[in-house]
């Protein structure tokens, strides 16, 4: 256990909530989370709600170290609940709202949470209900705070309706205590939970807050989902530590975001945000007049989008790079050159190296795998020591699976991935997970799932299938309908191609590079 010592030798609470609480207290009478109509929650109210929701969590049986699994729509109430979980010393486990019951069932079994928070409109049924009972996990609808959705406040039987102000201070924790488990899919087709500590999230939040010059008068336009590290940690933590106003949109809609840029100063998004904004004729210099920073990450930003954006707005997008397991790793600078096609050097306090398959660092300019070490790097995969061992080098470097070069100043340019992964609109899709389900469908002998270039999503998921003898070739709608109960819709193929056989190398491995080359023009417009 790492206990941090303060200046006078006293033990400092490693609970990141403590730091957020100080920042929120300093901004007490400012608006924190704001709806497009200007109403919302002030910082003092957000603090109070975090305290009251922590009381409700405790009353629901949640204790320090317990996992709280959360699959709810984006809302201010969800932000307050996240803070409440940290305050109590419990472990936040966010899930994509697109996951089906079958996918959620897996997370319930794996995380063994004490509580599952869901939308009140959702009827829990069948196998999921049985699994929750089996792992002794209580399920509760979240409900909504009055400042969030007045129409929905006051509903009985929700976490919100059970609020009770705790008179205890934030849980005292060592800084290596678990704060969150973020599930990321894996090349085996099974999701792994990345264990992130309070130290991981605090070090990254502080570094980014400083590096990106966060100011108290910043207004963050928040249109990302809050079940992934980009929207939950990177965006929210920078703004909360800065005591900034957060304009909180339920989802990304290009026209709404464009209108809301007026009087905002910072936007964080995936590249799809920027290509969709560029599709709007009203997106111009006047629309971004108050904006000081556009940040992009989670997927490669093309040099074309970077250049078009600069030509249209006069501003250069700041691209950074990270992962759920490591939070943010590199960033282009706030001051100085932001270079298209590069993700900048390692963040202060973070070490990166480009290594060969044997883990030996390569000379500048050579392509290798990005490896990373630092206070931002997770401690391992939840209940999966084997996978953890496989992805760390002995000296503590984590192997990202991203292929890149570094120049002699340490600036990194990502050139590909050694992991079999498709990134579509900032969401990761692991082909193995889709192939496993496709191969089990009647009429399909085998399949290979690939990512092909797509203007809107960057990459689109494509299924290449070989039909069983005598079976009719499947059409896309039938295939998607067959997968619908088991697979989130963003993971489902956007096209299906039928071949008589899959190309294989001498070892029998499917040559996906050939398939990608064959179908690269599928979505060319
Ligand atoms: C939605 N759909 C997608 C999709 N998003 N399909 C492929 N890829 C995506 N990313 C599908 C839905 O399944 C649905 O299909 C249809 O599109 C309409 O859904 P929608 O919800 O209305 O879509 P839209 O609002 O347009 O969403 C697109 C988007 C969204 C790009 C705004 O995907 C998004 O917010 N992405 C951000 C992801 C993110 O935060 N990543 C960070 C990961 S953290 P159907 O068939 O049902 O109609 C990370 C680390 C790091 O990577 O470095 O940050
Ligand atoms: P996730 O597992 O959802 O956290 O996704 C992490 C992956 O997103 C990384 O391993 C990269 O492959 C990719 N990624 C994140 N940021 C960038 C970026 N700026 N450029 C290219 N790829 C990125």
φ, ψ for residue 345, nearest 5 deg: -85, 175
Find tokens 């709007």 and name the residue.
280
Residue 168 Cα to ligand 2 middle (Å): 39
φ, ψ for residue 236, nearest 5 deg: -65, -45
**322 CB near ligand 2 (under 6 Å):** yes
**457 CB near ligand 1 (under 6 Å):** yes
Between vectors from CA 272 to CA 76 and to CA 277, what angle results, nearest 5°? 85
pLDDT tens digit string along 263-289?
Answer: 999 999 999 999 999 999 999 999 999
User: Whats the size of the chain, residue-wise?
Assistant: 525
Q: Is the pLDDT of residue 371 over 70?
A: yes
Q: Chain centroid to CA 507: how far?
A: 36
Residue 491 Cα to ligand 1 middle (Å): 10
Q: What value does the mean pLDDT take over residues 402-409?
A: 97
Residue owning the nearest CA to atom 12 of ligand 2: 402
Q: Which atom of ligand 1 is nearest to the CA of 252?
A: 32
- List all residues 6 or more positions away from 500 whose beta carbon is below 8 Å from its beta carbon: 466
User: What is the per-residue pLDDT for 11?
Assistant: 62
Per DSSP, 362 falls in state P
User: What is the per-residue pLDDT for 10?
Assistant: 59
**429 CB near ligand 2 (under 6 Å):** no
pLDDT tens digit string along 380-394?
Answer: 999 999 999 999 999
Per-chain mean pLDDT for the chain: 95
User: What is the per-residue pLDDT for 420?
Assistant: 92
User: What is the per-residue pLDDT for 113?
Assistant: 98
Distance CA 75, CA 423 (A): 25
pLDDT tens digit string along 43-58?
Answer: 999 999 999 999 999 9
pLDDT tens digit string along 109-151?
Answer: 999 999 999 999 999 989 999 999 999 999 999 999 999 987 8
Distance CA 433, CA 443 (A): 18
**402 CB near ligand 2 (under 6 Å):** yes
The residue whose CB lies within 8 Å of the most ligand 1 atoms, and thus the one to mutate among 98, 231, 305, 426, is: 426
Residue owning the nearest CA to atom 6 of ligand 1: 490
User: What is the per-residue pLDDT for 1?
Assistant: 47
**295 CB near ligand 2 (under 6 Å):** no
Q: Is the pLDDT of residue 183 over 60?
A: yes
Q: Which atom of ligand 1 is nearest to the CA of 488?
A: 13
Q: Is the pLDDT of residue 366 over 80?
A: yes
Residue 490 Cα to ligand 1 middle (Å): 6
Q: What are 204's two structure tokens?
A: 């990254």
Residue 352 Cα to ligand 2 middle (Å): 15
**414 CB near ligand 2 (under 6 Å):** yes
Q: Is the pLDDT of residue 191 over 70?
A: yes
**233 CB near ligand 2 (under 6 Å):** no
Q: What are 33's two structure tokens?
A: 């989370």
Of 150-159, 374-383, 466-475, the one with minimum mean pLDDT is 150-159
Residue 452 Cα to ligand 2 middle (Å): 17
Q: Is the pLDDT of residue 3 over 60?
A: no
Residue owning the nearest CA to atom 31 of ligand 1: 425
Does this model's pTM top 0.85? My answer is: yes
State how beta strands 327-331 and 318-323 pair.
antiparallel
Q: Which atom of ligand 2 is nearest to the CA of 414?
A: 21
Of 179-188, 246-255, 487-496, the one with minimum mean pLDDT is 179-188
pLDDT tens digit string along 300-313?
Answer: 999 999 999 999 99
8 Å CB contact between 118 and 139: yes
Find tokens 């939070």 and name the residue.
327
Q: Chain centroid to CA 458: how far?
A: 17
Q: Is the pLDDT of residue 8 over 70?
A: no
Distance CA 234, CA 211 (A): 12
Q: What percent of the chain has pLDDT over 90?
A: 93
**95 CB near ligand 1 (under 6 Å):** no
8 Å CB contact between 370 and 398: no
pLDDT tens digit string along 215-267?
Answer: 989 999 999 999 999 999 999 999 999 999 999 999 999 999 999 999 999 99
pLDDT tens digit string along 75-122?
Answer: 999 999 999 999 999 999 999 999 999 999 999 999 999 999 999 999
User: What is the per-residue pLDDT for 153?
Assistant: 74
Residue owning the nearest CA to atom 50 of ligand 1: 323
Distance CA 253, CA 264 (A): 16
CB count, 10 Å around CB of 367? Answer: 14
The residue whose CB lies within 8 Å of the most ligand 2 atoms, and thus the one to mutate among 414, 459, 491, is: 414
Q: What are 25's two structure tokens?
A: 């207290």
pLDDT tens digit string along 422-458?
Answer: 999 999 999 999 999 999 999 999 999 999 999 999 9
Q: Which ligand is nearest to the CA of 341?
A: 2
Q: What value does the mean pLDDT take over residues 478-483?
A: 96
User: What is the per-residue pLDDT for 144?
Assistant: 96
User: What is the per-residue pLDDT for 77?
Assistant: 98
Residue 321 Cα to ligand 2 middle (Å): 6
Q: Which ligand is nearest to the CA of 494?
A: 1
Helix-strand-coil split of the chain, %, nearest 5: 30, 25, 45
């Amino acid at each position: 256990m790492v206990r941090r010592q303060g200046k006078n030798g006293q033990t400092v609470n490693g609970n990141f909530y403590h730091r957020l609480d100080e920042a929120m207290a300093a901004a007490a009478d400012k608006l924190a989370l704001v709806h497009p109509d200007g109403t919302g929650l002030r910082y003092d109210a957000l603090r109070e709600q975090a305290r009251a929701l922590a009381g409700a969590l405790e009353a629901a049986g949640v204790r320090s170290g317990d996992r709280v699994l959360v699959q709810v729509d984006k809302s201010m109430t969800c932000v307050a609940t996240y803070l409440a979980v940290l305050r109590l010393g419990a472990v936040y486990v966010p899930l994509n709202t697109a996951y089906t019951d079958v996918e959620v069932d897996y997370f319930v079994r794996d995380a063994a949470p004490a509580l599952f928070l869901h939308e009140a409109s959702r009827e829990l049924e069948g196998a999921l209900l049985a699994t929750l009972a089996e792992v002794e996990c209580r399920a509760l609808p979240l409900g909504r705070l009055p400042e969030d959705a007045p129409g929905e406040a006051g509903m009985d039987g929700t976490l919100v309706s059970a609020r009770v102000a705790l008179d205890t201070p934030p849980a005292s924790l060592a800084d290596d205590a678990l704060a969150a488990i973020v599930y990321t899919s894996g090349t085996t087709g099974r999701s792994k939970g990345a264990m992130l500590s309070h130290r991981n999230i605090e070090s990254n939040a502080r570094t980014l807050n400083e590096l990106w010059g966060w100011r108290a008068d910043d207004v963050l336009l928040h249109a990302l989902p809050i079940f992934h590290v980009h929207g939950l940690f990177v965006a929210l933590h920078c703004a909360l530590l800065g005591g900034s106003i957060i304009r909180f949109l339920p989802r990304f809609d290009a026209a709404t975001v464009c209108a809301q840029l007026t009087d905002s100063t910072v936007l964080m998004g995936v590249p799809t945000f920027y290509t969709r904004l560029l599709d709007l004729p009203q997106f111009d210099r006047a629309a971004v007049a108050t904006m000081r920073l556009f940040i992009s990450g989670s997927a490669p930003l093309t040099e074309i989008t970077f250049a078009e954006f600069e030509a249209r707005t006069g501003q250069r997008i700041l691209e950074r790079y990270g992962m759920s397991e490591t939070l943010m790793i590199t960033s282009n600078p706030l001051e100085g050159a932001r270079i298209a096609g590069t993700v900048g050097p390692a963040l202060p306090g973070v070490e990166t190296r480009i290594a060969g398959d044997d883990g030996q660092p390569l000379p500048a300019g050579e392509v290798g795998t990005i490896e990373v070490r630092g206070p931002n790097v997770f401690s391992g995969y939840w209940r999966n020591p084997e996978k953890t061992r496989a992805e760390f080098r002995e000296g503590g470097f984590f192997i990202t699976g991203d292929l890149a070069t570094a120049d002699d100043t340490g600036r990194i340019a990502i050139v590909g991935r050694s992991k079999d992964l498709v990134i579509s609109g900032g969401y990761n899709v692991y082909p193995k997970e889709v192939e496993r389900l496709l191969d089990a469908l009647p009429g399909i002998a085998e399949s290979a799932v690939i990512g092909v270039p797509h203007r809107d999503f960057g990459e689109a998921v494509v299924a290449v299938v070989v039909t069983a003898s005598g079976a009719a070739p499947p059409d896309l709608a039938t295939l998607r309908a067959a997968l619908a109960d088991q697979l989130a819709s963003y993971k489902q193929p956007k096209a299906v191609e039928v071949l008589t056989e899959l190309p294989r190398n001498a070892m029998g491995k499917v040559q996906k590079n050939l398939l990608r080359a064959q179908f690269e023009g599928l979505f060319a417009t």
